[in-house]
Amino acid sequence: MKFIVIGGDAAGMSAASRAKRNMPELSVCVYEQTQDVSYSACGMPYNIADAGRQIDDLVVRKASVFREKQDIDLKLGHRVEKIDISNKAIKGKDSSGNAFSDNYDILLIATGASPIIPNLPGFDLPGIFALKSLEDGRKLKQFLRPEIKKAVILGMGYIALEMAESFHNRGISVSMIKHRPQLLPWLSSNLANRVQKELKAHDIQLYDGHPVAGIESTNNQLNVISKDLTLNADIVLTAIGVRPNSQIAKDAQIKTGPSDAILVDSKMATTGKDVFAAGDCASVMHNVSKKQTWIPLALYANRGGWTVADNVCRKNKYIPGVVGTAVFKVFGLQVARTGLNMSEAKKAGFDPVEIVIQSRSRAHAHPGAGKIDVSMVGDVSSGRLLGVQMVGEEGVAHRINAPAIALHGKMSVEEFSLADFAYAPPFSPVWDPLLTAANQLLKKM
């Protein structure tokens, strides 16, 4: 039996490796269009911030390891362009333009996602970058010569904010611009305001509500043009989001779902016979809303690859879905979320209510405590916990895992408020900020 994987990053290599461990006699072949596999894309902003580190430090496992130690047929520089489901075949071209084809018994599409590049004048000029692949990071880091002093970032999402800090740490002034108003519109306004203050405290210039019309180059400088302002830059980063690489599936008449991600079931199977999909190109079931959605995050990509591998090896495994847990760093702040916010909860058909509180990361008499802001959402009709967001200097990144587990367990706000949390003065008040939020939310439900 031959198992072919299209795409050699998180989902693809996780699936290939696990399938080979489960069934050593299985023929496993991976086609990857770039020259890089198995790397920490999430680590790129932090690597770029450190001029002394090599970008290849982010490689988790080299191609030679997959080939020599695991007997995986890994083909780099091979872009698969067509899937022929009726003949169980793939076709494509290598980096030299030579055509190739192959046949599979089972296929995994793990093509990931691509950065959204605006179809506007000037976005093909030198000095304009996106950040998704390791090669993107390699080129961007090489471009950061000492004379690069000003950066403009399009977008204000996770990567944009992490790269704002990265550029700042390299001594580069940063302006951020986006077409919609409000920084982080998915974040509760009180919490978003705190993030905005942190950015301004580090001289990050924010221009929300300014649609970009194009980019021009004059006198070796880039000019980002909006209707009522022009921002000058030596480098421009486009970080307005990503979209799933699902076209190859659509061309094969495989169905797509939310955000045009490849529609998969709980076994990661697509609507194409013997074809799976996993990673940033695939949909996922949200365990709170009970709706298919698209949330391109690293853990789900790896777990999806494992699920595919187990099913390829006839272990009949199901993936449990997600609750949208995420965390990122903005200078001295940790920002985290899990579950649904108010608007998402309303769209999902709940009757939501929200509480926002501010507490401390440590006991009141213990030195070094920081403030933690918590937004918590519950459903009035059922009493169920729906979502939590947090912002603070410390104690946020791992604290968010508690409500994430509660959401997976479908706990009510009252049940969560009675959970047995650990307490010691260096780590938390007696009443943990999450427990305080739950108790206050109960009063409104």
Residue 47 inside a domain? The answer is no
Whose tokens are 């091979």? That residue is 78
User: Does residue 354 share a domain with residue 432?
Assistant: yes
> What distance in Å separates the CA atoms of residue 211 and residue 222, rounded to the nearest whole number?
17
Last residue within a domain, chosen from 184, 207, 238: 238
> What distance in Å separates the CA atoms of residue 292 and residue 19, rounded to the nearest whole number?
26
Last residue within a domain, chosen from 202, 221, 238: 238
Contacts with 367 (C-beta within 8 Å, 6 or more apart), sequence order: none
Compute the Cα dihedral for 393, 370, 202, 117 and give only its sign: positive
pLDDT means per 10 residues, the chain with 445 residues, are: 96 97 97 95 96 94 94 97 98 97 98 96 96 96 96 96 98 97 94 97 97 94 95 97 97 98 98 98 97 94 97 94 96 98 97 98 92 98 98 97 98 98 95 98 96
> What distance in Å separates the CA atoms of residue 258 and residue 97, rounded to the nearest whole number?
33
User: Does residue 124 share a domain with residue 100?
Assistant: no
User: Does residue 284 share a domain with residue 192?
Assistant: no
In the Cβ-directed half-sphere of 414, how many Cα atoms lie within 13 Å?
6
Task: List residues bridging with 360 in a β-sheet.
Answer: 371
User: Does residue 438 share a domain with residue 331?
Assistant: yes
Overall number of domains in the chain:
3
Residue 43 inside a domain? The answer is no
State residue 365's pLDDT score. Answer: 86
User: Does residue 131 share a domain with residue 101?
Assistant: no
Largest CA distance in the chain: 70
Residue 321 inside a domain? The answer is no
Return the CATH number at 293.
3.50.50.60
Catalytic residue among 29, 42, 281, 313: 42
State residue 382's pLDDT score. Answer: 97
> What distance in Å separates the CA atoms of residue 359 and residue 249, rounded to the nearest whole number?
48
> What distance in Å separates the CA atoms of residue 339 and residue 322, rounded to the nearest whole number?
9
State residue 366's pLDDT score. Answer: 94
What is the identity of the amino acid at 271? T
Residue 383 inside a domain? The answer is yes
Question: Could you tell me if 223 and 231 are in contact, meaning their C-beta atoms sit under 8 angstroms apart?
Answer: yes
User: Does residue 216 share a domain with residue 132?
Assistant: yes
- Residue 29 annotated as catalytic: no
Least Cα distance to 322 among 273, 280, 270, 350 occurs for 280
pTM given for the model: 0.95
State residue 48's pLDDT score. Answer: 97
Residue 299 inside a domain? The answer is yes
Domain that holds residue 92: 2-38+60-113+243-312
Question: Could you tell me if 330 and 355 are in contact, meaning their C-beta atoms sit under 8 angstroms apart?
Answer: no
Question: Could you tell me if 305 and 282 are in contact, meaning their C-beta atoms sit under 8 angstroms apart?
Answer: no
User: Does residue 229 share a domain with residue 127?
Assistant: yes
User: Does residue 234 share a domain with residue 122?
Assistant: yes
Last residue within a domain, chosen from 205, 238, 271: 238
* Model pLDDT for residues 286-314, shown as the tens digit of each residue: 999 999 999 999 999 999 999 999 999 99
